[in-house]
């Protein structure tokens, strides 16, 4: 019988479940994640609509957002609205989030970087419908546009022209297929495979995104990726238009890969 953890029961209670309903759930064999049961997940202090068509946002992704925000503030002096040097900095800054899923990252970035336009894209229309709901709920529709695209391939740059400066952020599927197939039931049977399975070595999507980004007429100023800290990422050195470094997550694991344009 699957026992529910204390935080899971609290989450259900906070979202209207009665003690009897929770007891019945525990007595059943239902392993559905509580976020799908309530239709809501939390990331970076905000609640987001979720459903089986999107990954449940993970706590590790909060720092991915933070890294993008720090970079944006540093490079574009976004906070320094009254800086006398402001005129030196680009007028329009845009961030493309590739594989936006629920839209939690795009919405969080919009809140962290009020002067920045965000384009969230995903290959899944069902995911984009949920992202749209989150953009509306958090009232960032003036800042976040959503579009369907296979990585950057279908991105209509005429409709979404890269701004004076732009960056890319992506938390793409990175689990090698054989590891995906061995994942615990509560992940594999409930969360979308499209959000998790990164192909034979786990790098299918990341490699393809980097190839696309490297061949754009104008390079992104920086690319931020969430990765598996145990993976050998040496292949990224072939994308030498970018200087690559890794940043650590709250557990000290090198979970973020950042490439800054050297051209």
Ligand X SMILES: C[S@@+](CC[C@H](N)C(=O)[O-])C[C@H]1O[C@@H](n2cnc3c(N)ncnc32)[C@H](O)[C@@H]1O
What whole-number distance in Å separates Cα of residue 22 and Cα of residue 13?
A: 8
DSSP helix/strand/coil, 69: helix
Give the C-alpha separation, 73 to 113, whole Å: 8
- Segment near ligand X (CB under 6 A); pick from 5-13, 119-127, 157-165, 251-259: 119-127
Choices 11-19, 66-74, 122-130, 236-244; region in contact with ligand X by CB under 6 A:
122-130
By CB under 6 A, tell whether 151 contacts ligand X.
yes
Q: Does 101 bind ligand X (CB under 6 A)?
A: yes
Pick between residue 25 and residue 117 the one whose CB is nearest to ligand X.
Answer: 117
* Beta partners for residue 118, in sequence order: 95, 144
What is the C-alpha to C-alpha distance for residues 145 and 155, in angstroms, rounded to an integer?
12
Does 50 bind ligand X (CB under 6 A)? Our answer is: no
Is 197 in a helix, a strand, or coil?
strand
Return the residue of 108, 117, 124, 143 that touches ligand X, per CB under 6 A.
124
The answer to whether 162 contacts ligand X (rule: CB under 6 A) is: no
Report the residue from 22, 123, 163, 216 that binds ligand X according to the rule CB under 6 A. Answer: 123
State which of positions 61-90 bind ligand X (CB under 6 A): 61
Q: What is the CA radius of gyration of the chain?
A: 19
Instruction: Please tell me whether residue 144 binds ligand X under the rule CB under 6 A.
Output: no
Residues whose CB falls within 8 Å of the CB of residue 225, separated by 6 or more in sequence, listed in order: 169, 170, 171, 172, 206, 256, 257, 258
Question: Residues in the site for ligand X, rule: CB under 6 A?
Answer: 54-55, 57, 61, 98-102, 104-105, 122-124, 127, 150-151, 171-173, 194-195, 205
């Amino acid at each position: 019988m699957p026992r529910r953890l204390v935080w899971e029961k609290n989450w259900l209670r906070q979202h209207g479940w009665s003690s009897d309903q929770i007891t019945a759930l525990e007595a059943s064999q239902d392993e559905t994640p509580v976020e799908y049961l309530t239709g809501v997940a939390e990331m970076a202090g905000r609640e987001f609509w979720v459903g089986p068509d999107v990954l449940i946002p993970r706590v590790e992704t909060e720092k991915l957002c933070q890294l993008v925000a720090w970079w944006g503030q540093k490079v574009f002096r976004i906070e320094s609205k009254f800086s006398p040097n402001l005129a030196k900095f680009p007028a329009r800054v845009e961030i493309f989030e590739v594989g936006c899923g629920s839209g939690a990252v795009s919405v969080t970035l919009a809140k962290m970087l009020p002067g920045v336009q965000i384009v969230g894209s995903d290959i899944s229309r069902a995911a984009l419908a949920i992202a749209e709901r989150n953009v509306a709920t958090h009232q960032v529709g003036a800042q976040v546009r959503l579009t369907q695209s296979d990585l950057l391939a279908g991105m209509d740059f005429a409709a979404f022209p890269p701004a004076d400066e732009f960056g890319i952020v992506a938390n793409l599927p990175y689990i090698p297929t054989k590891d995906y197939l061995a994942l615990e039931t509560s992940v594999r049977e409930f969360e979308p495979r499209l959000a998790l399975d990164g192909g034979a070595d786990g790098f299918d999507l990341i490699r393809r995104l980097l190839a696309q980004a490297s061949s754009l007429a104008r390079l992104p100023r920086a690319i931020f990726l969430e990765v598996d800290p145990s993976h050998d990422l040496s292949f990224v050195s072939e994308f030498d238009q970018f200087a690559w470094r890794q940043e650590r997550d709250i557990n000290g694991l090198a979970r973020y890969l950042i490439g800054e344009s050297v051209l």
